[in-house]
């Protein structure tokens, strides 16, 4: 069952929504929401949740009870600077978007989402990528455009399924050799990076068919 309340629930969410425990998909995007009720934890059948384009500064711990959330979790364009640790219980989630928020560091909960295929964290204030990113062994796309990242950890080389690595508009000064060893990398986006001396292995990647945008 799908419920789409995009731009239809300004400022608050009716309690009837949290009582609808058969929901599989819920869209609450663009409603000017400042908070989400802990009652959201009742929606145990949810597979997709869209909370994007609101005014959220925090999320309830009960969000981590939605262990059936497998398809999409949209949190982009809010005012978040942290995520509840309980979100690390969403081990089967495949898509997470936390772009356009206020994260200065990666929330640890992200690295419990071991089935992630696509992670979007663009337009934040991230200064580094933790080595824990190497645990996301199913990741195919990692989007980190427009942050404050200066280097990438060697552990990035553990992402054997990675196809797209987007590092546009970051003040990068170092890329590890392990990037060159990523067997399925198809696109490395370094546009608007003006601080990086191109590594010698760029030619090796391009010869393999990987597109490097710079």
CATH code, residues 2-213: 3.80.10.10
Domain boundaries, the chain: 2-213
pTM: 0.97
Q: What DSSP assignment string belongs to 56-90?
A: -S---GGGGG-TT--SEEE--SS--S---GGGGG-
**Predicted confidence (pLDDT) at residue 9 exceeds the cutoff of 90:** no
> Residues 125-163: pLDDT tens digits?
999 999 999 999 999 999 999 999 999 999 999 999 999
Gap between the Cα atoms of 47 and 30, Å rounded: 20
């Amino acid at each position: 069952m799908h419920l789409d309340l995009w731009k239809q629930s300004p400022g608050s969410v009716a309690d009837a929504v949290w009582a609808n425990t058969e929901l599989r998909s819920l869209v609450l995007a663009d409603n000017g929401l400042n908070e989400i009720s802990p009652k959201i934890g009742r929606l145990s059948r949810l597979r997709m949740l869209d909370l994007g384009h609101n005014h959220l500064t925090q999320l309830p711990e009960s969000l981590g009870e939605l262990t059936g959330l497998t398809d999409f979790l949209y949190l982009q364009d809010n005012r978040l600077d942290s995520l509840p640790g309980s979100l690390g219980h969403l081990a089967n989630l495949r898509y997470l978007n936390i772009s356009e928020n206020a994260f200065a560091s990666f929330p640890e909960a992200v690295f419990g989402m071991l089935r992630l295929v696509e992670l979007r964290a663009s337009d934040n204030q991230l200064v580094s990528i933790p080595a824990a990113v190497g645990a996301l062994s199913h990741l195919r796309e990692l989007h980190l455009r427009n942050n404050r990242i200066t280097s990438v950890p060697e552990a990035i080389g553990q992402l054997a399924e990675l196809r797209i690595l987007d590092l546009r508009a970051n003040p990068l000064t170092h890329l590890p050799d392990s990037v060159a060893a990523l067997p399925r990398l198809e696109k490395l986006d370094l546009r608007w990076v003006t601080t990086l001396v191109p590594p010698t292995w760029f030619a090796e990647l391009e010869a393999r068919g990987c597109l490097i945008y710079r």
